[in-house]
Structure 1
Amino acid sequence: MPDFKSINQPFSNTINIDGNSYLYFGGTAYLGIPQNQDFINLYIEGIKKFGLNNGTSRTNNIQLGIYDEAEKVAAGRYGAEAALITSSGYLTAQLTLKAISVSGKVIYAPATHPALWLIDQPAHQQAFKDWKKETVSLINAAEEKTWVLVSNSMNNLIPEIYDFDFVKEIRSDKNIILVVDDSHGIGVNNNGMGAIVNLPKQENIENVVVASMAKALGVDAGIVLASSKIIDKLKSTNTFIGASPPSPAALYAFIHAGDIYNKALNKLKNNMAMFEDALNLTWKFEWDFPVYLPGETNFSQRLLQKQILISSFPYPNPTDEILNRIVLSAWHEKEDIEKLIAAINF
């Protein structure tokens, strides 16, 4: 059996191990940015302009202007009033929750990513649809006025995209801060806009989107999309003040990659349409999201015999059954999808 735990090459549509080439349908590089040569060229251009990294705090008296510029571009690109960018999605989630959690009582949705936990959260196996009903009833009957609801925008493993319109059912005299982790949706879902466009717009609801930029967007950084009031609050925290920012070269590439992201997303959509046309209706997937669950336990081994690698591991616990998922990317070519379809239908 080849050693798939010690791969020494970049992930792409193919992986070469022990002289054998495998088609790869896993990971989270939905737009294929790590292997997008136009994006790589922008990154190199950014390195030449700004160097490899910047180890100074964003509050230093001498600053690179690229950070403020990237935040303005991000806010405009994703339809937010303001944005904040840090060096990782985890850091972004932690500084956001630490700052916002003091505003009201915190409630976590099922399967909320551990990056958003302030302390270890108990295992939460409840279905999202049941949780949201209980949450509305709880808040409406409680004396507390301000509540912080924390959730992923989706469960990318199942997959399931969540609808947050239920928050409108909460009494209007309650103040709701809705913190949504959109790490797997930003750049892909809703024509690349992510979850922010579908969050409830109401006077008593403050929407805060946090996300890793390392997945679809291909940048080792984290982002917050929120009101200027929230962003100003986050930028005054000790966590933000004390942390080094991400690579300025990466943000230079992000700023100038609008057309690259759009072209990659269009290619991904074409790959998805081609694959979905051949799918058995018993498979589980969400429209506009490139992850597919066959539900067959030994599915990965059957594909491995055809030189195809997919995501396959126990979920949600190490002792549970194997969860098999096929993940499509913009780095896949038409021929890759055809080979995958032929292997599935064999």
Structure 2
Amino acid sequence: MKYLTNKIPSNTLISDEQRYLWFSGTSYLGITHHPVFKENFIKAVDQYGTSWGSSRNNTVQLSIYDKAEKVLADFAKMPSALTVSSGMWAGQLVVNFLKSKGNTFFFAPKTHPALWNDFTQSSTDTYQVWAKTIADTIKDSEGENIVICSDSVGSPYVEYFDFGWIKSLPIDKNITVVIDASHSFGIDLPEIHSDNVRLVITSSLNKAMGMTGGVIFSDNDFIEQIRYFPMFSGASPMMPALLEAFVTSIDIFDEQRKKLLENIEYFNHLIKPDLGIDSIKNYPAYCTHQAGLHEYLKQHGIMTACFPYPTANDLPVTRLVISALHTKENLELLARVLNSWK
């Protein structure tokens, strides 16, 4: 069932003249409603306007892109960053670039479509089984230039992905690991030890970070190659005013992340451990395939997401999300309703 609204929800949603507590979406840090970020964005729009419809490699270039990309790289603890118009384009740009180099591709289970290409054959194994066998699969591959694609965390159904398998990959092949971290960036990037591979991280900035755009992280050499790839040169960039607002508001991202993690910890202490709801450490989304929870929460004035995944024929996933905007009272009410379910 669809619910229409003419206003972006904060910790509440108004739909069809009904008010609900809103525990869904992906605005984990609540940046889109933060008064400082909104004020800085308005100032930035006055300076930059609403868009910059030009190639990043054109004769005249805006300095905010280089400035913001340095801040983003530092924020992610990565060597270099490159922004693009969306997270989907960040993934597709990287995959098309690597495909143009003649690489052999492998895909982890549940890899997001942002990293798909013409050769996509995601494993049907569980992530855990795939992780135990991928090193031997690569060793047996005839290809010498290898690309392995994976998400950083299961989404929309919550699942922890352990990247210890990277350490076991063979060192006699040229391996690039591409990770879509759209649902982790801004909260917690996975710990990845990548001395034996080239690591590339792509991400939407429209999840935790609250900005329409995408970003690519990697070593300086890879980012420079992407920068002069025709599919980057020929594309318009993300809105410069958003990046200006990000740079001038960088402190609030750390503050909101701290609030989010405190909310997650507080909520986890409130709910019963046997509810049958899946979650992972320091992550704001909670999921279940159990029928009836979405409707039960709605009856108590709480709105979550509920939809079939990954196809229309699969069981519906009820997904509830905590954000930095939720108050302790919001979390206490949600916990009371959940604890009384069944």
TM-score (norm 1): 0.93
- The reply to whether residue 342 of structure 1 matches residue 336 of structure 2 is yes
Report the CA distance shift for 1:11/1:185 in structure 2 as closer, same or farther (over 3 A): same
Question: Displaced runs of 4+ in structure 1, greater than 3 A?
Answer: 120-125
Q: Using the TM superposition, give the Cα deviation of residue 314 of structure 1 relative to its aligned residue in structure 2, in angstroms.
A: 1.1
Distance 2:267 2:119 in 1: 39
Task: State the percentage of identical aligned residues.
Answer: 33
Question: What residue identity is the alignment partner of 1:199?
Answer: I
Aligned pair count reads 337
Question: What residue identity is the alignment partner of 1:45?
Answer: K
Tell me the secondary structure at the aligned position of residue 285 of structure 1. Answer: coil
Question: What residue identity is the alignment partner of 2:140?
Answer: A
Distance 2:183 2:268 in 1: 20
Tell me the secondary structure at the aligned position of residue 49 of structure 1. Answer: helix
Tell me, yes or no, if the aligned pair for 1:278 and 1:341 is still in contact at 8 Å. yes
Backbone CA RMSD of aligned residues: 1.6
Instruction: Identify the residue that residue 216 of structure 1 maps to in structure 2.
Output: 208
2:62 to 39, 61, 64: 64
Question: What residue identity is the alignment partner of 1:97?
Answer: V
Tell me, yes or no, if the aligned pair for 1:156 and 1:291 is still in contact at 8 Å. no
Tell me, yes or no, if the aligned pair for 2:3 and 2:15 is still in contact at 8 Å. no
2:311 to 314, 317, 320: 317
Q: Using the TM superposition, give the Cα deviation of residue 146 of structure 1 relative to its aligned residue in structure 2, in angstroms.
A: 2.0
Report the CA distance shift for 1:50/1:263 in structure 2 as closer, same or farther (over 3 A): same
- The reply to whether residue 303 of structure 1 matches residue 318 of structure 2 is no
Question: What residue identity is the alignment partner of 1:200?
Answer: H
Q: Using the TM superposition, give the Cα deviation of residue 295 of structure 1 relative to its aligned residue in structure 2, in angstroms.
A: 4.5
Question: What residue identity is the alignment partner of 1:187?
Answer: G
Tell me, yes or no, if the aligned pair for 2:272 and 2:339 is still in contact at 8 Å. no
Question: What residue identity is the alignment partner of 1:258?
Answer: I
- Give deviations 1:257-276, integer Å, cap 9, x for gaps: 22111111111112111210
Distance 1:239 1:10 in 2: 32
2:37 to 17, 36, 39: 39
- Give deviations 1:225-261, integer Å, cap 9, x for gaps: 1011100110111111111111111000111222111
Tell me the secondary structure at the aligned position of residue 345 of structure 1. Answer: helix
Instruction: Identify the residue that residue 179 of structure 1 maps to in structure 2.
Output: 178
Instruction: Identify the residue that residue 170 of structure 1 maps to in structure 2.
Output: 169
Q: Which sections of structure 2, spanning at least 5 residues, go unmatched?
A: none
Instruction: Identify the residue that residue 96 of structure 2 maps to in structure 1.
Output: 98
Distance 2:336 2:134 in 1: 45
Instruction: Identify the residue that residue 29 of structure 1 maps to in structure 2.
Output: 27
Distance 2:296 2:226 in 1: 49
1:6 to 4, 7, 31: 4
Structure 1 window deviating more from structure 2 (137-146 vs 89-98): it is 137-146
Tell me, yes or no, if the aligned pair for 1:103 and 1:147 is still in contact at 8 Å. no
Instruction: Identify the residue that residue 144 of structure 2 maps to in structure 1.
Output: 145
TM-score (norm 2): 0.94
Q: Using the TM superposition, give the Cα deviation of residue 158 of structure 1 relative to its aligned residue in structure 2, in angstroms.
A: 2.6
Tell me, yes or no, if the aligned pair for 1:103 and 1:148 is still in contact at 8 Å. no
Q: Using the TM superposition, give the Cα deviation of residue 18 of structure 1 relative to its aligned residue in structure 2, in angstroms.
A: 3.2
